[in-house]
Chain A
Amino acid sequence: MFATRYIGGIRATFSLIGFLLIWEMVVRALALPGYVLPTVSAILEQLWRQQQPLIAAAMTTSQQALLGFGIGAALGVALAVALTFVGRLRDALMSIVVAINIVPMIAYAPLVVLWFGVGMESKVIIVACEVGFTVLLGTLDGLNRVDKRSVDLLRSFGAGPFELIRKLRLPSALPSILTALKLSTVRSIIATIVVEMLGAYQGLGWTIFQSVVMSDFLTVWAAILVASLLSLAFFGLLAWLERRLVFWQ
């Protein structure tokens, strides 16, 4: 199993390098101007030259994304657990949750920026909502996947509702929760960047917005590259956690 994963990793790395090489060669062969599509080497050079402001921007973006992610995940799991206690009310509440979730959170972003300003709060709130709903739905799904017979068994040994949650429902929901969390990683970075573009003091989205206005496309691409790496690292972290925590799957 380790060997196959290792080989998979090597393959992925090679195909990525191949893709970047083709990009570099096509741009050079067609002599595309930098404002249409720059070469990979020029982007990497810019990344090196602008490393300090880009790292600062990445720190801001990741802080906001992580904070929003943490709050959203905690609220999502907590709310899902709470909903399992309310019994019949659940279905009524669920339809409200689904209705809110149908509107893309990003659509609220201009209003949230208006209410909470261009600072950190507006980003954290949007990310928390975006992540919260995904985790809530994932967790609910997992909590309901419990085998009815196991519930009956535990009950027959005198387990109360809290013990049922702690000892049975949550552990068996863990795979669903972690899948939802993994999906939310990339979403949280996307949401942060989009809200930053509407107004921010710093961050990758803000860097991209400002650089476009000033025709600085190399910095735009360098910021996109940093954002991709950030997403990848965040996703990788959660995938690693998943392998650690849900080792039985």
Chain B
Amino acid sequence: MTRFSWQRLRVGTCFALALALSLVATLQTAQAQSSTQASLRLKWLPQAQFAGFYVAKAKGYYEDEGIDLTINPGGPNVLTENLVASGSDTFGLAGGAESVLAARDKGLPVVAIGLGTQRTDFVFVTKRDGPIETIQDFAGHRVSTWFTGANYALFAILADQGVDRDQVSIQPQQVSMTPFINGATDVATATWYNELNTLRDQLGEDALRLFSPDDYGITFPRDALVVSETTLAERPELVAGFLRATLRGWKEAFADPEQAVDIVMQVAPTLDRHHQQRMLAEMQRLMTTGPAAEHGLYWLDHDTLVKEQDLLARYEVISQSVDVGQAFVTTPLESIPLEARLP
């Protein structure tokens, strides 16, 4: 080949590239006109805890609502409320009612439009053959918990049962459950859907004794769906569409859990299948319990939330000034017929 023809080839390639690029750009504009771009920030890495969102995306439920949804995973030190408040993400699955109240208290313009687990998603767990049989036995023993909200549930239980908090050695809990398994701590905190399943697998189903905050009248609903005040005010149809598709996704996931786990595992192939199946089963139980039976999935129970706010204000985590009615809004959910929300 001569040098001249090389040059022509190069010019030709450039033209082809430019053409391709402009074509992609045109296509993208066309797509943008037909569907709205939006993103959802999760509170942790992909797992069956979020199956409903992944199923809704895989089945095209968001597309049906005209939403081109990107699901962004979370991780340690990723604060969903901040990313939604700053506009980096349209929607977010945040820690829980407690983190939404704290964010509102600090002036972040985020609103919860749904709460995933209707009951507290964590328990305090101890070994059945260990020294602890009642909450009173916590005194003089080592209890590890998350100092990111769960600790206040613990404080409240101890107060409810008349145990002096200073008598209990309360330690911050690490990510790993090894210190509890080894016996370095007597009581640990575990989510129903994750750590507890790990412990049941390692120590045996009957080897554990559980203390659930809900049994002591303390309910921390968790997995809060949040959106910015601006999005809620200016794009109510986007918010309602997102909720409709999400509800469909969860109902589909509950109806066919095997398929749902398949979809999640396509996103994160290294996950342990058995663990994910059990996680989804626990999520179904936590999401369909309590007020959900009457009001449907993601319901925001006003009385529960007021009680939680009182508790957090008592421990000076937040000020009393957060308006629960403004922080947790049921309007988008109520725009969807009840039968579409019922599990």
| B106 lies within 8 A of A215 (CB) | yes
Contacts of B81 in A (CB 8 A): 215
- What distance in Å separates the Cβ of B109 from its nearest Cβ neighbour in chain A? 8
Interface: A198 (CB within 8 A): yes
| A216 lies within 8 A of B175 (CB) | no
| A209 lies within 8 A of B77 (CB) | yes
Complex: chain B residue closest to A206, CB-CB: B172
Interface: A153 (CB within 8 A): no
Instruction: State which of B77, B108, B179, B184 has its C-beta within 8 Å of the C-beta of A212.
Output: B77
Interface: A214 (CB within 8 A): yes
- What distance in Å separates the Cβ of B127 from its nearest Cβ neighbour in chain A? 19
- What distance in Å separates the Cβ of A52 from its nearest Cβ neighbour in chain B? 14
| A217 lies within 8 A of B178 (CB) | no
Interface: A142 (CB within 8 A): no
Interface: B33 (CB within 8 A): no
Work out how many contacts link A and B, with CB atoms closer than 8 A: 65
Interface: B95 (CB within 8 A): yes
Interface: A6 (CB within 8 A): no
Complex: chain A residue closest to B110, CB-CB: A215
Interface: B86 (CB within 8 A): yes
Complex: chain A residue closest to B148, CB-CB: A213
| B172 lies within 8 A of A201 (CB) | yes
Bound Cα distance A53, B108 (Å)? 24
Residues 198 to 249 of chain A near chain B (Cβ within 8 Å): 198-201, 206, 209-210, 212-218
Contacts of B106 in A (CB 8 A): 34-35, 214-218
Which residues of B are interface residues toward A (Cβ below 8 A)?
A: 77, 79, 81-82, 85-86, 95, 99, 102-103, 105-109, 147-149, 171-176, 178-179, 184, 317
- What distance in Å separates the Cβ of B230 from its nearest Cβ neighbour in chain A? 12
| B85 lies within 8 A of A35 (CB) | yes
Query: Among the interface residues B102, B184, B317, which one has the most CB atoms of the partner chain A within 10 A?
Result: B102
| B108 lies within 8 A of A215 (CB) | yes
Instruction: State which of B85, B174, B184 has its C-beta within 8 Å of the C-beta of A199.
Output: B174
Known: A110-B175, A118-B172. A210 touches B147 (CB 8 A): yes
Instruction: State which of A117, A198, A201 has its C-beta within 8 Å of the C-beta of B184.
Output: A117
Contacts of A214 in B (CB 8 A): 99, 102, 106, 148, 317
| B107 lies within 8 A of A35 (CB) | yes
